[in-house]
């Protein structure tokens, strides 16, 4: 005889940081919540990303939710009972020519007009003061005080454990293979049993497009594999997290002295077998940028390179909001900058599920924006 | 240059393979990080003095002929070439003198041999402690031998190196043998098979009797070891199964518990690996020619499973025969007939393995440490650190790596991978084969950032 479907108030598909953060806020509101994860929690982007907790340089549409998230990051022990290895100091995006610096000035003006005062442009002297090791070719930077970085795997696990503390059920090794209607409810199928629920939340990251399609929403999503490299330990030479304005390099020296370098160049992701392929040419390119910005790094050894699978939307903004069918909510497609947003996304999605109006502007992330 | 075959490693497997393929008119590139051909067993054999050869023994000297044959063929041999990646598309990345290049061929043979098993006991990371194979490397490459050292562990290589040390005229303070009774019982059923290689058994007995006849203190059935010292090793204390305990003063301790396949390159190339409960290690799944699940990628020699130098030669030739046949340089009948001799050589060489594997199986206390013993030397993580992470539900090697950085350092898990796996198995009661190993990524050896930056790698495939 077939086992009866398990029931819940909410089933969340995908145990990345967003699935766990949403689960945490929903169990705190008293809903019976089950998270289904096909591999293990933090196996993908959420566990292997660069850990950048950055408001700086975000698309203007994302600034309010990033700012709200930043406030939550200031008290991670209060939120998830762990400091998540979060350290903040400064975040800088260096300009390597005057044109880049000029664009940065325009951006800061726009931000100020919207009432956000956290970013500013600094000149070469101030830049050198913050980072004596920076190359002489850098002419200035976009700067914010208070952004930083955390340990991604540890952070995601902290969300998971906190959600479990409040009663969330987290099932790992359980892929959702089919979603369909059963009366007013959704029937969720997995090889190890079915679930019945009135509310389904899609936090399936790069796989979110597939899940969305099963739930009746066609959302174009591409999977790519952003790449990272880490060096051996070096003497402390840079405190801020550093990026570049021209290309999407990010660069930080961790507590143990190793330097983590990420670039805008991506490898190849395969959704079907969870695999990523590195692109040596791309890695070579972004390591060259790292060397240009910090000549001291030239002789440092790179000890490891990897990539994670991430979903990208056409406008590089996430999909957050109600689906077109009842009882469906989406939060995926974070386009390589979703780690920082997770604390706020948990609250926002829980507001939507509870039928409340979110206190943050999420219209730019609406599911319907891709409909023609 | 367009190569038919790229061979990584110039030990007996790589040398035999390169020689054969060049002899049949194939274009071959042979890469090895050492400055001289010979691999582990015949390290530096072209360059050693008569005296050093006497010390190292006749098995060592016979490697010279193998090296000579390779030198006589037109093999593009690049010494000092550190291979830091092989991809599924058979793109080989290597570094020579601080410059990296990428090269591709229809066939790639990984012949990177074995590596010594980690030996995590208290104090094993102190200066003065090294693996016995590494001590032998010093002897082979520069004739150096430390006086008054302590050898500890078990396995043929331990006795071999100790006997070489004695022949070099230095004193060994003690040999602490960790051989355990249950092993002898487990090995018994394989003894008759091993007798077919009485010559090998006799060789081992000779090493042991050389040690016995010397002034070396031999302490058997050692059940516990602890290296002492703060800044550097100052001694080693031990306990035996019968309860005896003692301490020996020394600045040099050489540990050894056998060798395991060097899997890093192959794993990073997505070659499927299997777990051996008998040998307590991972080995690549290869067919009788050495072919793996990755098209065009073969593995030969101790890197495919520990069988020794002569078996490695045969395996190297078999791998090359397959490539030659596929390249159309020999026909299938010639391939089969040439293969026959290699297959029987391989069989002859591996007869003694089941006996040796069981007899010298490293006992658990020396594989699964406890307390403050360091597991991951790169990140200085102790057993307790690792256990705490397992306790919060992080129970896979990759999860554990992401959480604690164990295995993320420059050694890429060579020193801690097996230990971490065993700690997880022990704590969670799961099987070793279910736990799996670290996902390995290039570069499998550290390469400078500048070298990557300046490498000619063509245009990026996918830019954001
Ligand atoms: C330290 C040590 C000492 C040993 N000494 C002996 C001994 O004295 N007698 C004995 O019978 N057996 C010895 N062995 C066992 C050894 O494995 C032999 O069985 C034999 O050398 C195996 O031959 P092989 O061709 O498979 O590999 P090896 O002889 O090990 O040759 C592999 C070669 O690959 C090269 N290599 C590895 N990785 C890379 C890389 N990433 N890039 C470039 N080159 C690379 C190495 O430099 C090496 O030259 C030893 C093993 C070890 C680990
Ligand atoms: C290399 C890299 C560097 C990055 N750096 C940063 C950074 O510095 N700062 C920043 O803010 N962001 C960064 N990001 C982006 C950030 O990591 C992601 O946006 C974020 O982790 C996305 O979280 P998620 O929960 O949506 O997705 P994921 O972590 O991918 O989680 C989705 C989960 O859904 C599961 N799943 C999929 N399909 C199914 C199914 N059918 N059934 C069950 N489960 C399923 C998957 O297994 C997966 O675990 C980076 C990303 C990468 C890859």
Q: Could you read off the pLDDT of A123-171 as tens digits, one per residue?
A: 999 999 999 999 999 999 999 999 999 999 999 999 999 999 999 999 9
What is the domain-level CATH number for residue A121? Answer: 3.30.9.10
Give one DSSP letter per residue of A38-103, joined into a string.
Answer: SS-TTSSHHHHS--EE--TT--GGGHHHHHHHHHHHTTHHHHHSS-TT-EEEEEEEEESSHHHHHH
CB contact under 8 A, B452 and A302: yes
A76 inside domain: no
| Res. A36: pLDDT tops 80 | yes
- Find out whether the beta carbon of A226 lies less than 6 Å from any atom of ligand 2: yes
Task: Give percent of chain B with pLDDT exceeding 70.
Answer: 99
Run of H or E residues at B448? strand B447-448
Angle A186-A192-A198 from CA coordinates, rounded to 5°? 15
Taking each helix axis from N to C terminus, what angle separates A17-28 and A342-353, rounded to the nearest 10 degrees?
50
A55 inside domain: no
A275: which chain B residues are within 8 Å (Cβ-Cβ)? 270
pLDDT digits (tens, 9 = 90+) for B18-42: 999 999 999 999 999 999 999 999 9
| Res. A1: pLDDT tops 60 | no
Tokens of B77: 């041999």
ipTM: 0.89
CB contact under 8 A, B450 and A231: no
- pLDDT (tens place) for every residue of chain B, 464 residues total: 699 999 999 999 999 999 999 999 999 999 999 999 999 999 999 999 999 999 999 999 999 999 999 999 999 999 999 999 999 999 999 999 999 999 999 999 999 999 999 999 999 999 999 999 999 999 999 899 999 999 999 999 999 999 999 999 999 999 999 999 999 999 999 999 999 999 999 999 999 999 999 999 999 999 999 999 999 999 999 999 999 999 999 999 999 999 999 999 999 999 999 999 999 999 999 999 999 999 999 999 999 999 999 999 999 999 999 999 999 999 999 999 999 999 999 999 999 999 999 999 999 999 999 999 999 999 999 999 999 999 988 889 999 999 999 998 888 899 999 999 999 999 999 999 999 999 999 999 999 999 999 998 877 766 54
pLDDT digits (tens, 9 = 90+) for B208-248: 999 999 999 999 999 999 999 999 999 999 999 999 999 99
CA A68 to chain centre: 15
Q: Are residues A233 and A304 in the same domain?
A: yes
Indicate the average pLDDT of chain A: 95
Q: Which of B448, B455, B458, B459 to mutate to probe the A interface, most A CBs <10 Å?
A: B448
Rounded CA-CA distance A166/A270 in Å is 35
Minimal Cβ distance to B460: which of A48, A256, A285 = A285
Atom of ligand 2 nearest to the CA of A36: 43
Contact in structure between B70 and B19 (CB atoms under 8 Å): yes
A102 inside domain: yes
Task: Give percent of chain A with pLDDT exceeding 90.
Answer: 93
pLDDT score at A279? 92
pLDDT digits (tens, 9 = 90+) for A162-213: 999 999 999 999 999 999 999 999 999 999 999 999 999 999 999 999 999 9
Q: Are residues A200 and A293 in the same domain?
A: no
Q: Does A48 touch chain B (CB under 8 A)?
A: yes
Q: Are residues A203 and A231 in the same domain?
A: no
Q: Are residues A269 and A184 in the same domain?
A: no
Minimal Cβ distance to B447: which of A42, A301, A336 = A301
Q: Which chain A residue lies closest to B392 (C-alpha atoms)?
A: A161
Q: Are residues A202 and A320 in the same domain?
A: yes
* Shortest-distance Cα residue to atom 22 of ligand 1: B309
Closest C-alpha to B170, from B208, B205, B203, B135:
B135
pLDDT score at B168? 95
| Cα A45 to averaged position of ligand 2 atoms, centre (Å) | 3
Minimal Cβ distance to A302: which of B399, B449, B464 = B449
| Cα A197 to averaged position of ligand 2 atoms, centre (Å) | 24
| Cα A332 to averaged position of ligand 2 atoms, centre (Å) | 8
CB atoms under 10 Å from CB of A173, counted, come to: 12
Q: Which chain A residue lies closest to B101 (C-alpha atoms)?
A: A280
Q: Which chain B residue lies closest to A258 (C-alpha atoms)?
A: B409
pLDDT score at A372? 61
Predicted model pTM: 0.94
* Shortest-distance Cα residue to atom 44 of ligand 1: B32
* Shortest-distance Cα residue to atom 38 of ligand 1: B112
Q: Are residues A236 and A121 in the same domain?
A: yes
Closest C-alpha to A215, from A348, A74, A326:
A326
Chain A: give the shortest CA distance to residue B179, in Å.
36
CB contact under 8 A, B392 and A161: yes
Rounded CA-CA distance B354/B279 in Å is 9
CA A61 to chain centre: 16
Closest C-alpha to A340, from A17, A15, A16, A14:
A17
- Find out whether the beta carbon of A50 lies less than 6 Å from any atom of ligand 2: yes
Q: Are residues A200 and A340 in the same domain?
A: yes
- Find out whether the beta carbon of A346 lies less than 6 Å from any atom of ligand 2: no
A336: which chain B residues are within 8 Å (Cβ-Cβ)? 464
Tokens of A301: 């050894």
Helix (H, G, I), strand (E, B) or coil at A341: coil
A99 inside domain: yes
B399: which chain A residues are within 8 Å (Cβ-Cβ)? 40, 42-43, 47, 153
Interface of B with A (CB under 8 A): 85, 87-88, 91, 93, 102, 270, 379, 392-394, 396, 399, 402-403, 405, 408-410, 412, 441-443, 446-450, 452-455, 457-464
Chain B: give the shortest CA distance to residue A355, in Å.
34
**Sequence-ordered alpha helix ranges (H) in B111-189:** 132-142, 156-167, 181-187
B459: which chain A residues are within 8 Å (Cβ-Cβ)? 281
Q: Are residues A39 and A160 in the same domain?
A: yes
Closest C-alpha to A156, from A18, A26, A350:
A18
Domains and CATH numbers, chain B: 5-115+260-330 (3.50.50.60), 118-257 (3.50.50.60), 368-435 (1.10.10.1100)
Ligand nearest to the CA of residue A51, numbered in listed order:
2
| Cα B68 to averaged position of ligand 1 atoms, centre (Å) | 18
A53 inside domain: no
B270: which chain A residues are within 8 Å (Cβ-Cβ)? 275
Which residue has 């390169």 as its token pair?
Answer: B18
| Res. A2: pLDDT tops 90 | no
A63 inside domain: no
| Res. A336: pLDDT tops 70 | yes
Q: Percentage helix, strand, coil, to 5, in chain B? A: 40, 20, 40
Q: What total number of domains does chain A contain?
A: 2
Tokens of A73: 């990051």
Q: What are the residues facing B282 on neighbouring strands?
A: B275
pLDDT score at A264? 78
Closest C-alpha to B362, from B118, B173, B151, B190:
B118
Closest C-alpha to B179, from B256, B236, B125:
B256
Of the residues A289, A312, A335, which one is the last residue of a structural domain?
A312
pLDDT bin (cut points 50, 70, 90) of residue A214 is: very high
Run of H or E residues at B202? helix B198-213
Angle B300-B79-B296 from CA coordinates, rounded to 5°? 35
Closest C-alpha to B175, from B122, B254, B244:
B254
Rounded CA-CA distance B320/B15 in Å is 11
CB contact under 8 A, B441 and A306: yes
pLDDT score at A323? 97
Q: Does A282 touch chain B (CB under 8 A)?
A: yes
Run of H or E residues at A330? strand A328-332
Q: Does A163 touch chain B (CB under 8 A)?
A: no
Which residue has 């206390």 as its token pair?
Answer: B365
A157: which chain B residues are within 8 Å (Cβ-Cβ)? 392-394, 403
Give one DSSP letter per residue of B66-82, joined into a string.
Answer: HHHHHHHS--EEEETEE
Give the structural domain span for A111. Answer: 89-148+222-312
Rounded CA-CA distance A154/A156 in Å is 6
A131 DSSP 8-state letter: -
Of the residues A297, A312, A327, which one is the last residue of a structural domain?
A312
CB contact under 8 A, B446 and A265: no
Q: Does A94 touch chain B (CB under 8 A)?
A: no
Range 294-323 of A in CB contact (< 8 A) with B? 297-306
What is the domain-level CATH number for residue A319? Answer: 3.50.50.60
Mean pLDDT, residues A9-22 taken together: 98
pLDDT score at B464? 46
Q: Which of A302, A305, A309, A313 to mutate to probe the B interface, most B CBs <10 Å?
A: A302
Minimal Cβ distance to B464: which of A248, A268, A275 = A248
A176 inside domain: yes
A60 inside domain: no
Q: Are residues A298 and A261 in the same domain?
A: yes
Of the residues A277, A292, A312, which one is the last residue of a structural domain?
A312
Chain A: give the shortest CA distance to residue B434, in Å.
14
Mean pLDDT, residues A95-120 taken together: 96
Q: Which chain B residue lies closest to A233 (C-alpha atoms)?
A: B409
Q: Are residues A306 and A171 in the same domain?
A: no
Q: Does A230 touch chain B (CB under 8 A)?
A: yes
Minimal Cβ distance to A279: which of B447, B452, B460 = B460
Ligand nearest to the CA of residue B37, numbered in listed order:
1
A279: which chain B residues are within 8 Å (Cβ-Cβ)? 460-462
Q: Are residues A138 and A228 in the same domain?
A: yes
Q: Are residues A203 and A332 in the same domain?
A: yes
Closest C-alpha to A85, from A242, A302, A209, A260:
A260
pLDDT score at B463? 53
């Amino acid at each position: 005889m077939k086992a009866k479907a398990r029931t819940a108030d909410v089933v969340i598909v995908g145990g990345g940081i967003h699935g766990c953060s949403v689960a945490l806020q929903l169990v705190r509101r008293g809903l019976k919540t089950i998270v289904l994860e096909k591999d293990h929690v933090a196996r993908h982007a959420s566990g292997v990303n660069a850990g950048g907790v950055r408001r700086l340089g975000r698309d203007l549409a994302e600034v309010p939710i990033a700012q709200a998230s930043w406030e939550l990051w200031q008290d991670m022990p209060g939120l998830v009972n762990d400091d998540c290895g979060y350290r903040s100091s400064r975040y800088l995006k260096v300009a390597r020519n005057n044109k880049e610096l000029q664009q940065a000035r325009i951006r800061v003006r726009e931000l100020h007009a919207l009432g956000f005062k956290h970013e500013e442009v600094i000149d070469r002297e101030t830049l050198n003061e913050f980072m004596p090791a920076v190359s002489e070719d850098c002419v200035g930077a976009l700067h914010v005080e208070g952004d930083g970085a955390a340990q991604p795997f540890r952070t995601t696990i902290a969300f998971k454990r906190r959600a479990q503390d409040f009663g969330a059920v987290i099932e790992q090794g359980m892929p959702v293979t089919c979603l369909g209607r059963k009366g007013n409810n959704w029937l969720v199928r997995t090889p190890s049993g079915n679930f019945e629920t009135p509310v389904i939340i899609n936090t399936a990251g790069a796989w979110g497009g597939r899940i969305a399609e099963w739930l009746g929403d066609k959302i174009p999503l591409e999977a790519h594999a952003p790449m990272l490299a880490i060096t051996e330990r070096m003497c402390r030479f840079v405190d801020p997290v550093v990026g570049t304005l021209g290309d999407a390099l990010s660069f930080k020296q961790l507590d143990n002295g190793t330097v983590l370098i990420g670039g805008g160049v991506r490898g190849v992701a395969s959704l079907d077998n969870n695999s990523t392929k590195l692109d040596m040419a791309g890695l070579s390119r972004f390591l060259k940028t790292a060397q240009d910005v910090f000549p001291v790094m030239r002789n440092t050894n790179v000890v490891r390179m990897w990539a994670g699978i991430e979903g990208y939307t056409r406008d590089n903004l996430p999909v957050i909001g109600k689906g077109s069918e009842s009882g469906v909510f989406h939060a995926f497609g974070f386009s390589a900058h979703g780690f920082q947003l997770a604390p706020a996304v948990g609250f926002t999605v829980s507001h939507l599920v509870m039928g409340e109006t979110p206190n943050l502007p999420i219209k730019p992330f609406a599911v319907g924006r891709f409909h023609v | 240059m367009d190569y038919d075959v790229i061979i990584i490693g110039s030990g007996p497997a790589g040398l035999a393979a390169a020689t054969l393929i060049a002899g049949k008119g194939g274009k071959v590139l042979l890469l090895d990080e050492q400055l001289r051909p010979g691999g582990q067993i015949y390290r530096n054999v072209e360059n050693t003095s008569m005296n050093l050869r006497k010390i190292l023994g006749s098995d060592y000297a016979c490697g010279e002929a193998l090296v000579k044959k390779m030198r006589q063929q037109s093999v593009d041999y690049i010494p000092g070439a550190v291979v830091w990646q092989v991809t599924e598309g058979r793109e080989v990345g290597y570094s020579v003198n601080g410059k990296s290049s990428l090269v591709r061929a229809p066939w790639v043979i990984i012949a990177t041999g074995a590596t010594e098993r980690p030996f995590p006991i208290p104090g094993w990371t102190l200066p003065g402690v090294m693996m016995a194979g590494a001590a032998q490397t010093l002897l082979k490459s520069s004739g150096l031998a430390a006086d008054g050292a302590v050898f500890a562990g078990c396995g043929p290589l331990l006795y071999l190196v100790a006997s070489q040390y004695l022949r070099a005229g230095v004193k060994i303070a003690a040999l602490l043998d960790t051989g355990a009774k249950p092993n002898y019982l487990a090995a018994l059923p394989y003894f008759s098979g091993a007798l077919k290689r009485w010559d090998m058994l006799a060789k081992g007995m000779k090493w042991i009797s050389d040690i016995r006849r010397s002034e070396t203190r031999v302490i058997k059935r050692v059940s516990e070891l602890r290296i002492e010292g703060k800044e550097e090793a100052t001694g080693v204390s031990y306990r035996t199964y019968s309860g005896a305990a003692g301490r020996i003063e020394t600045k040099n301790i050489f540990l050894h518990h056998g060798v395991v396949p060097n899997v890093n390159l192959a794993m990073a190339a997505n070659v499927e690996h299997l777990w051996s409960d008998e040998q307590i290690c991972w080995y690549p799944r290869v067919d009788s020619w050495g072919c793996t699940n990755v098209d065009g990628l073969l593995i030969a020699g101790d890197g495919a499973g520990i069988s020794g130098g002569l078996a490695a030669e045969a395996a190297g030739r078999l791998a090359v025969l397959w490539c030659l046949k596929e390249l159309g340089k020999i026909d299938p009948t010639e391939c089969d007939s040439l293969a026959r001799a290699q297959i029987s050589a391989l069989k002859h060489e591996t007869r003694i393995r089941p006996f040796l594997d069981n007899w010298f199986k490293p006992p658990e206390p020396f594989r699964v440490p406890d307390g403050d013993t360091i597991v991951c030397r790169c990140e200085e993580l102790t057993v307790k650190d690792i256990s705490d992470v397992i306790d919060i539900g992080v129970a896979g090697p990759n999860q554990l790596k992401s959480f604690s950085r164990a295995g993320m350092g420059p050694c890429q898990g060579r020193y801690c991978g097996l230990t971490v796996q065993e700690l997880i198995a022990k704590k969670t009661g799961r099987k070793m084969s279910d736990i799996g190993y670290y996902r390995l990524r290039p570069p499998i050896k550290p390469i400078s950032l500048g070298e990557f930056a300046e490498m000619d790698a063509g245009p990026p495939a996918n830019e954001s």
